[in-house]
Amino acid sequence: MKNNLFKAHLALLGANLIYGVNFIIAKGIMPDKIGPSSFVFIRLLLATPLFWILKSFVIKERVAKSDMLRLMFCGLFGAAANQLLFFHGINLTSPIDASIIMTAVPVIVLVFSSFLLKERITKHKLLGITIGGVGAIALILYGNKASGTSSVLGNLFVFLNATSYSLYLVFVKPLMKKYKAITVVSWVFLFGFLFTFPVGIGDFLNTDFSGFTLNTYLVIGFVVLFTTFFAYLFNIYSLQYVTPSVTSSYIYLQPLISFVMVAVYANILSQTQYTQDINLVKIISCLLVVIGVYMVSKKPKTMS
């Protein structure tokens, strides 16, 4: 059990490493090369068969008809709505704003978990989320000096994305007790693609693929293979062993990962332009993030 728990946390670390990089990578080709809806359409069009192919090799598992409605909701909130909202949001606003707003996910998950899963909100968890949130927001505010175009509408889309993703984490948890991770994520993406099809097919057909460069295809490949295929597998695998609130708390590691990357570029790769980005405020912020995630994920000791 301890080994599975370790693997779950390792999977969450990997997923959030990918998500941390995705903020800038995905935005880099929108909207000049591809529109947000078309990007999400391609993402689901290519990723959905990958999950089903993997499932066919790994396990032959049937899903009860009584669980199909929940899977449809998971597909709506976890694959269709949240991806469309995120890509439209990041297309309009800056990665900085999006990162700050996404730190609200653990709080939203705790609220939904309390109502839908009857998960108890302890003072310990609330304190951990608060500490991690303060560290993440401080790190983003002080750690990113690059100017970005903020947008009220874009920020609203990202917030709705955070809410949708939080609902997905809560809705999918009961399914993880009954089925393998690959079974659940395959159905989630199939329903997600069906929900996305009427929204994205028009933009997809109007996309000028002749204007795509090698970089465009590399970015799309990264988003499909890593941000979608591997990251979703990592997240849904972790839900077999940890609660939705623990899974969502790892979002605080995304700004921490950005800090580590800056440190590597400045000190190991000798990219001196990054040296000025490292200061005491960022180091303290990183420590707060680590403490916050540890407090949320650590199980309280039971009295004997």
Q: How many domains does the chain have?
A: 1
What is the distance between the alpha carbons of residues 190 and 188, in angstroms, rounded to a whole number? 6
Length of the chain: 304
| Alpha helices for 28-61 (secondary structure H) | 36-58
302 domain-assigned: no
Residue 200 has pLDDT above 80, yes or no: yes
What is the distance between the alpha carbons of residues 98 and 66, in angstroms, rounded to a whole number? 36
What is the distance between the alpha carbons of residues 126 and 292, in angstroms, rounded to a whole number? 9
Segments forming the whole domain that contains residue 12? 2-297
Q: What is the pLDDT of residue 268?
A: 63
Query: Residue 20 to residues 113, 140, 162, 242: CA-CA distances in angstroms?
Result: 25, 12, 15, 21
304 domain-assigned: no
Percent of the chain at pLDDT above 90?
A: 26
What is the distance between the alpha carbons of residues 180 and 199, in angstroms, rounded to a whole number? 30
Residue 271 has pLDDT above 50, yes or no: no
Report pTM: 0.75
3-state secondary structure (DSSP) of residue 56: helix
Q: What is the pLDDT of residue 168?
A: 87
Mean pLDDT of the chain: 79
Query: What count of Cα atoms within 13 Å lies in the side-chain half-sphere of residue 25?
Result: 19
3-state secondary structure (DSSP) of residue 123: helix
102 domain-assigned: yes
Q: What is the DSSP letter of 81?
A: I
Calculate mean pLDDT across residues 19-38.
81
Asked whether 132 and 249 are in contact (CB, 8 A), the reply is yes
- Give 265: exposed, middle or buried? Use CB within 10 Å, 0-12, 13-18, 19+: middle
Calculate mean pLDDT across residues 114-121.
70
Q: Which of 34-48, 129-143, 207-221 has the lowest mean pLDDT?
A: 129-143
Taking only the tens place, the pLDDT of each residue in 78-100 is 999 999 999 998 887 766 667 76
Instruction: Give the E-state strand segments of 118-190 in sequence order.
Output: none
Q: What is the pLDDT of residue 145?
A: 47
Given pLDDT bands bounded at 50, 70 and 90, which one contains residue 142? low
Calculate mean pLDDT across residues 174-197.
91
Calculate mean pLDDT across residues 26-43.
87
